[in-house]
Amino acid sequence: MRALIFDGELRLESLSCPVPAAGEALIRVLAAGVCGTDLEITRGYKGFSGVLGHEFVGEVTECEDTSLVGHRVCGEINIGCRQCDWCRSGVQGHCPHRTVVGILNRPGTFAEYLTLPVANLHRVPPQVGDLEAVFVEPLAAALEILEQLDIGEYQRVVVLGDGKLGMLCAQALSAAGANVLLVGRHERKLAIARQLGLRAQPVSGSSASDADLVVEATGSALGLEQAMHMTKPRGTLVMKSTVASPAAVDWSPVVVKELRLIGSRCGPFSRAIEALSADAIRVGPLIEAVYPLEQAIAAIDRAAVPGTLKVILRGP
């Protein structure tokens, strides 16, 4: 099979098709999204080497559970040991021995095939198209905020960052009833946000300050410092960005303003699929470009251009 490898440089290679272990399924990748984390990996994040990618929809081609064969699925990306206290409590995402698809010690989705445990798979209903289904993983990450917080406690909510994740977070919070303002740097993307029914302002000249809740989704090491200044004293700041490059951050506002700082990562796939099925979250306007797998390097280059929204790889 063909796959996009990163081991200090990007290249498309021919690899042996993976063989599913007991309890796993072999999945033919139909579409896979390029995420900001993928780009950060190419800049050194996590020191990952292997097949990139973790957002995907695919068709099960081989599985002990034959009822899954032929069905479209997406998959949770954390694979735990199933023996530690975290796994036994149902939180594989914090298993100290976990692998993570395309991020930590496990091949990713920028390939024609991958394997995943059946326990990680979620069926994709017919009303959700392949390109939309690529957003299940990042939308689940956005919805995780609602799992962590009672959004009804916050009167003024700011999402900082007008990229894919920022717009998904803003839509998810708005759909939950929050008064959301999206703040970003790219007028073209802010215009798309307004088309999605979101209030949106540019960072320059923005009146966003003293927010009860700020979600930092800039994908920038410096975004956190800006988000701290936007959060009111004793307010809550949710961190969504993962970046490779270190930055000198002035942490004093966390202490002086007594901020509540929350890290937020992966989220509920079932809830994301339900939202896409009901058209409660719109993702079509977030798709920038679609490339065939054989043009994967060009797709990564396109995704790395500042201001670009979602770039998707289509399988054969």
Nearest partner of 10 among 287, 302, 244, 242, judged by Cα:
302
Q: Per residue in 76-86, pLDDT tens?
A: 999 999 899 99
Residues 6+ away with beta carbon under 8 Å from 278: none
Nearest partner of 180 among 212, 132, 222, judged by Cα:
212
**3-state SS class at 217:** coil
What pLDDT is recorded for position 189? 95
Q: Is the pLDDT of residue 4 over 90?
A: yes
For the chain, what is the mean pLDDT?
Answer: 94
What the block records as the tokens of 200 is 């949106």
What the block records as the tokens of 304 is 């790395």
What phi and psi, each to the nearest 5 degrees, are found at residue 187? -60, -35
Residue 224's identity, in one-letter code, is: L
Sign of the CA dihedral with 222 first, then 224, 230, and 232 last? negative
Q: Give percent of the chain above pLDDT 90.
A: 85
What pLDDT is recorded for position 275? 97
**3-state SS class at 12:** strand
Helix pair angle (269-277, 136-148), 10° resolution:
110
What is the CATH architecture of 2-135+283-314? Alpha-Beta Complex (3.90)
Q: What average pLDDT does this structure show over 104-122? A: 97
Range with lowest mean pLDDT among 66-70, 113-117, 173-177, 245-249: 245-249
Give Rg (Cα) of the chain: 19
Residue 144 and residue 265: Cα distance in Å, rounded?
7
The three-point CA angle 237-199-215 to 5° equals 15
Confidence category of residue 42, pLDDT binned at 50, 70, 90: very high
- Domain spans, the chain: 2-135+283-314, 141-263
Q: Is the pTM of this model over 0.85?
A: yes
For 33-94, give the DSSP string: EE-HHHHHHTTTGGG--EE---EEEEEEEEESSGGGTT-EEEE-SEE--SSSHHHHTT-GGG
What pLDDT is recorded for position 208? 67
Confidence category of residue 245, pLDDT binned at 50, 70, 90: low
Name the CATH topology of 141-263.
Rossmann fold (3.40.50)
Confidence category of residue 316, pLDDT binned at 50, 70, 90: confident
Q: Give percent of the chain above pLDDT 70.
A: 97
Q: What average pLDDT does this structure show over 33-43? A: 93
